[in-house]
Amino acid sequence: MFDTLIVGGGVAGMQCALLLGSALKKEYAKEKKVSIIMHQKASHLQEALFNNVLGLAQGTLGKDILNEGREQLETLYPEVTQICGEKVVAVLDDEKGYKIITNKEEYYSKSVVIALNYAKPFEIAGLEQYIERHSRANAMKDRIQLRNFNHLIKEGLYVCGTLAGWRSQFAIAAGSGASVATDILTEWNENIPTKVHDKIKK
């Protein structure tokens, strides 16, 4: 049973996981359990080349960001459980929150973050009723999003990145994942607006 389970290991999902991981030593988050299903094969980062992202060296490859992101999460925040080699097939309401079914296993979580890309087909049972035409993508590309209000689909169910209706831009996707993480941290912290920054120790 997790407190938060993130579905998708692209930029939005990993940014969400990194921010939640960095908060797990805070008093309000000490007992929280976070997991990410690192399904990355369909990530658009696999074919990306970055020259225009603040903090990334010119010529950075998206596939390298995926690999380094996994290692960064594992090294800095090993408390965040990484689930690899599984694909989510259903996200269903459950009395405990949500039941997440993959091609290999079943998990339970109080909240779920969907951080997948906006391409068709989208075949996760339990989420079909939220699919709609993407509001910002080129109509010719026939992209989709999940209906949400400020990343929230319904209580305990979030979406971030392009599937939340944002444009396919690295900085936007990362910001969207971070935004969802701070919303979850705020909820954990008795609804006191919350953000987390690591600081240099003096």
pLDDT tier, 57 (very low <50, low <70, confident <90, very high otherwise): very high
Contact assessment for residue 20 and residue 181, using Cβ atoms and an 8 Å cutoff: yes
186: left (phi > 0), else alpha (psi -120 to 50), else beta? alpha
Per-residue pLDDT of 62-96, as tens digits, reads 999 999 999 999 999 999 999 999 999 999 999 98
At 168-193, the pLDDT tens digits run 999 999 999 999 999 999 999 999 99
Q: Using one digit for the tens of pLDDT, what is the confidence trace for 26-44?
A: 999 999 999 999 976 778 8
Q: What is the Cα–Cα distance from 117 to 5, expressed in whole angstroms? A: 17
| Residue 195: predicted pLDDT | 92
pLDDT at 114 over 80: yes
Structure tokens at 146: 């999940």
CB 9 within 8 A of CB 66: yes
SS3 197: coil
Average pLDDT, stretch 102-129? Answer: 96
pTM over 0.85: yes
Q: What's the CA gap between 152 and 189, in Å, rounded?
A: 18
d(CA 34, CA 53): 28
